[in-house]
Structure 1
């Protein structure tokens, strides 16, 4: 049975915890070692990240920022070619299927390339470039998992943490990208 806490009790618990620490960390770490690793090791996702790395390896910061601005301008409009590219195809379908199969545990999943640009996503993200954020900076260069703070997600009214991991090339073990999972901590068990 899923672990559920009343929102008020969860709010009080989180307010009392020291910054960056919470009782869900061991459960989130266990989730990284099980379900999350299985999702990011899928050959379809690996192939998509490799392909995008071949396209984006030589981009300058100015070009990356221009693509990010283009993404932001497309959010909520009818013409969304860049967003559609990230939300369509086998890798995006894989991430959506993993989110759906989680029964609400994963509220979002997106994968990034070696410069921090979105490769595939289960839904629209607010920006295209994640390379300037902890979810990429504390995973891709270090090889470590990053567990963000628990926050109330306004769209779902659920408490969630973003859990990010490096994605490694299965042939070489080298980092090729990263992936972020929005995890509804109210459903952890």
Structure 2
């Protein structure tokens, strides 16, 4: 009985240590991906220019305006008229992000860019809501400033049937050095080295 408990405890400790090591390995791999890939395309002229352009419009929006737009988006997701969603999904930035996703060969499961208020600017796939400003992916990146990064735990994503981590990074204006928006990328962790 005591031997069984010792073996069970040792096995549990071994599993716990290997799970912790795996978690650290994926976080290291994702951090490397941010530094070697994501920041390159996320800081492109296409992304910076689109955010700056939308920020000029978003600067004048009240919270009531944002809530109204978010409600319209969520209603469109449920079905029927998709005028607002289609306008975003077919804009130049969304076309660029769809190309980035396609060229990742499955490494990126989704990409969306947010402005200074947390509103969608462009995306590879339709999000469930338009306003991300009330979520960690925006608050802990844009809200923190130019160095804001958030690496979420790995979850199984039903829609893509992959194990993914959502990675969010502040987008920085290269001229001012200030955060102007953020990007969230679904990363298929099974494709990380």
**TM-score range relative to shorter protein:** 0.7 to 0.9
Q: Does 1:148 align with 2:152?
A: yes
Over the aligned positions, Cα root-mean-square deviation in angstroms equals 1.9
Residue matched to 2:93: 91
SS at match of 2:25: coil
Unaligned runs of 5+ in 1: 1-11
Residue matched to 1:184: 188
Unaligned runs of 5+ in 2: 1-14
Q: CA deviation at 1:41?
A: 1.1
Q: Which deviates more, 32-41 or 105-114?
A: 32-41
* Partners of 2:59 and 2:135 in 1: CA distance: 19
Which TM-score applies when normalising by structure 2? 0.85
Q: Does 1:33 align with 2:38?
A: no
Q: Does 1:139 align with 2:141?
A: yes
* Partners of 1:111 and 1:96 in 2: CA distance: 12
* Partners of 1:83 and 1:17 in 2: CA distance: 40
Q: CA deviation at 1:17?
A: 4.2
1:159 pairs, out of 159, 163, 172, with: 163
Within-5 A mapping of 1:14-163: 16-17=19-20, 22-143=24-145, 144-163=148-167
SS at match of 1:24: helix
* Partners of 1:22 and 1:155 in 2: CA distance: 25
Q: CA deviation at 1:44?
A: 1.4
* Partners of 1:173 and 1:125 in 2: CA distance: 28
Which TM-score applies when normalising by structure 1? 0.87
Residue matched to 2:4: none
* Partners of 2:101 and 2:38 in 1: CA distance: 10
Q: Does 1:173 align with 2:167?
A: no
Q: CA deviation at 1:22?
A: 4.2
Q: CA deviation at 1:58?
A: 2.0
* Partners of 1:79 and 1:127 in 2: CA distance: 15
Structure 1 runs of 4+ with >4 Å offset? 15-18
* Partners of 1:131 and 1:108 in 2: CA distance: 18
* Partners of 1:152 and 1:184 in 2: CA distance: 10
Q: CA deviation at 1:75?
A: 0.8
* Partners of 2:79 and 2:175 in 1: CA distance: 40
Residue matched to 1:9: none
Identify which of structures 1 and 2 has the higher relative contact order when contacts are C-alpha pairs closer than 8 Å and 6+ apart.
1
* Partners of 2:160 and 2:186 in 1: CA distance: 11
